[in-house]
């Protein structure tokens, strides 16, 4: 197929480019959650190894499609495994003034918020990254060579909804501008910025802000799945002696809007307009990621608010990771394909029916033993 050809070519091109400009893509399959009955087939997708999965081919039941990524996490992967495998290695770059972004992509219900935020017994990427950054700056400030530097961590939290940037820490700021300074740093003038010295400080600002988001969502029928939640953690490093240098590293942690195609689900009026805005900004994001990964000369950052905001933290010298979340149930099939085609490094069609192996055991087993295992790792981190 022509799509997979283009992606194959892009893999060859990547050797010519600095590897950091590439957006690394990981796929996470969540456990099967719908009640299983004998009639309904269990899962339509299953993992193969730590970089690939296979999925039934809807065009031809005698064929199976195999996809490859930088990383694949199966339905028994823990929050800690995802954090350790795909996120924690980018944090040290923030302490030397480089930028980074981590975003969760996928249809509503596939596990984006679980991956980014999680819950108290299974903390996700956000609490783990904040905790580790606080620890890293403390260690660095205490080190011998670094006694002349101090570190400050700040947070901002915005929502991009219908191409408007809203401040979740100060909800009266409803349509904030995005600007670029002379050094090509992207900023949001007027956005609230809170200093965090401890994880408690972070929670104190983050929890009510998240509630701001949910409260707004009940008024407008699940707006939270239709907007991008963008958490910005800034690490500022200041030299205490002449020449008083300053370095700033930015980390964006993003729970993207649901990638489902709302035209299929029959939304109309305002909902349709909304999904238009969401789909076009996700579409722009996919164009930006493809352009970066193919090494194209023009990256269309300016085509949406989200990519404009991420311009200095996605591609270039920034470190970027996309975690595409997918769900195994049949009803997600086409949304899963969309996510896989976005995330894949390569795709292959295999001449064998998907149903040859039984998926029942794969879907059911790990889900049952997870909670205890997770609680242990969470307590230890």
Name the residues that contact Mg ion, by CB under 5 A. 112-113
Q: Are 350 and 46 in contact (CB under 8 A)?
A: no
364 binds ligand ADP (CB under 6 A): no
Q: Following DSSP, what letter does each residue of 34-92 receive, concatenated?
A: SPP-SSS-S-SEEEEETTEEEEE-TT-TT-EEEEE-SEEE-TT--HHHHIIIIIGGGHH
Which residue in 20, 41, 57, 114 binds ligand ADP (CB under 6 A)?
Answer: 114
Nearest 5°: the CA angle 325, 89, 18 is: 90
Closest distance to ligand ADP from the beta carbon of 204 (Å): 23
The sign of the torsion formed by the CA atoms of 282, 287, 288, 290 equals positive
Q: Which two tokens stand for residue 334?
A: 């086409």
Q: Which two tokens stand for residue 55?
A: 């999925």
Tell me the helix, strand and coil percentages in the chain, rounded to 5: 40, 25, 35
30 binds ligand ADP (CB under 6 A): yes
Closest distance to ligand ADP from the beta carbon of 297 (Å): 34
Chain length of the chain = 381
Q: How far apart are CA 267 and CA 255, in angstroms?
A: 22
Contacts of residue 249, defined as CB under 8 A and 6 or more positions apart, other chains included, come to: 93, 94, 95, 96, 97, 98, 99, 100, 234, 235, 237
Q: Which does 114 bind (CB under 5 to 8 A by kind): ligand ADP, Mg ion, none?
A: ligand ADP
Which residue in 259, 325, 338, 359 binds ligand ADP (CB under 6 A)?
Answer: 325
Q: How far apart are CA 252 and CA 320, in angstroms?
A: 9
Which residue in 21, 26, 31, 320 binds ligand ADP (CB under 6 A)?
Answer: 31
Closer CB to ligand ADP, 248 or 262, in the complex: 262
Determine if the peptide bond prior to 174 is cis (ω within 30°): no
Closer CB to ligand ADP, 137 or 325, in the complex: 325
Q: Which does 110 bind (CB under 5 to 8 A by kind): ligand ADP, Mg ion, none?
A: ligand ADP
Q: Which stretch binds ligand ADP (CB under 6 A): 30-38, 239-247, 275-283, 357-365?
A: 30-38
Closer CB to ligand ADP, 47 or 111, in the complex: 111
β partners of residue 47: 53
113 binds ligand ADP (CB under 6 A): yes
Q: Are 93 and 249 in contact (CB under 8 A)?
A: yes
Closer CB to ligand ADP, 65 or 77, in the complex: 77
Which residue in 68, 98, 108, 281 binds ligand ADP (CB under 6 A)?
Answer: 108
Q: Which stretch binds ligand ADP (CB under 6 A): 108-116, 145-153, 194-202, 272-280?
A: 108-116
| Phi (first) and psi of residue 293, to 5 degrees | -75, -20
Closest distance to ligand ADP from the beta carbon of 14 (Å): 29
Which residue in 112, 205, 213, 250 binds ligand ADP (CB under 6 A)?
Answer: 112
Q: How far apart are CA 177 and CA 189, in angstroms?
A: 7
List the interface residues with ligand ADP, window 63-92 (CB under 6 A): none
328 binds ligand ADP (CB under 6 A): no
Residue 207 to residues 153, 177, 211, Cα–Cα distance (Å) = 18, 25, 6
Which residue in 74, 111, 127, 328 binds ligand ADP (CB under 6 A)?
Answer: 111
Q: How far apart are CA 379 and CA 64, in angstroms?
A: 40
List the interface residues with ligand ADP, window 194-253 (CB under 6 A): 225
Q: Which stretch binds ligand ADP (CB under 6 A): 16-24, 107-115, 229-237, 293-301?
A: 107-115
Residues near ligand ADP, by CB under 6 A: 30-31, 33, 106, 108-114, 225, 325
């Amino acid at each position: 197929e022509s799509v997979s050809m283009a992606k194959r070519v892009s893999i060859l091109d990547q050797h010519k480019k600095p590897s950091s400009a590439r957006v690394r893509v990981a796929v996470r399959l969540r456990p099967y959650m719908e009640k299983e009955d004998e009639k309904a087939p269990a899962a339509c997708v299953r993992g193969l190894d730590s970089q690939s999965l296979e999925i039934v081919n809807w065009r031809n039941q005698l064929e199976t499609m195999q996809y490859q990524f930088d990383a694949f996490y199966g339905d028994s992967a823990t929050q800690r495994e995802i954090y350790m495998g795909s996120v924690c290695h980018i944090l040290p770059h923030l302490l030397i003034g480089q930028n980074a972004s981590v975003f969760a992509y996928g249809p509503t219900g596939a596990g984006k918020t679980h991956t980014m935020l999680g819950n108290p017994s299974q903390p996700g990427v956000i609490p783990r990254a904040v905790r580790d950054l606080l620890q890293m700056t403390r260690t660095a400030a205490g080190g011998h060579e670094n006694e002349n530097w101090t570190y400050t961590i700040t947070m901002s939290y915005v929502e991009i909804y219908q191409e408007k940037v809203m401040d979740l820490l100060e909800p009266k700021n409803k349509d904030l501008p995005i600007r670029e300074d002379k050094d090509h740093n992207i900023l949001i003038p007027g956005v609230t910025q809170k200093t965090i010295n401890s994880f408690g400080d972070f929670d104190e600002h983050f929890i009510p802000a998240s509630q701001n988001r949910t409260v707004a969502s009940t008024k407008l029928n699940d707006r939270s799945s239709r907007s991008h939640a963008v958490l910005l953690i800034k690490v500022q490093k200041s030299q205490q002696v002449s020449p008083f240098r300053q370095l700033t590293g930015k980390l964006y942690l993003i729970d993207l809007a649901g990638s489902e195609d709302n035209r299929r689900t029959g939304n109309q009026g305002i909902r349709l307009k909304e999904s238009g805005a969401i789909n076009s900004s996700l579409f722009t994001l996919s164009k930006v990621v493809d352009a970066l990964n193919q090494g194209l000369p023009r990256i269309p950052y300016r085509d949406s608010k989200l990519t404009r905001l991420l311009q200095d933290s996605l591609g270039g010298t920034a470190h970027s990771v996309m975690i595409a979340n997918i769900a195994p149930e049949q009803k997600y099939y086409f949304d899963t394909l969309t996510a896989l085609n976005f995330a894949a490094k390569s795709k292959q069609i295999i001449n064998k029916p998907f149903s040859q192996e039984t998926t029942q055991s794969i879907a059911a087993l790990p889900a049952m033993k997870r909670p205890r295992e997770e609680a242990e790792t969470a307590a230890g981190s």
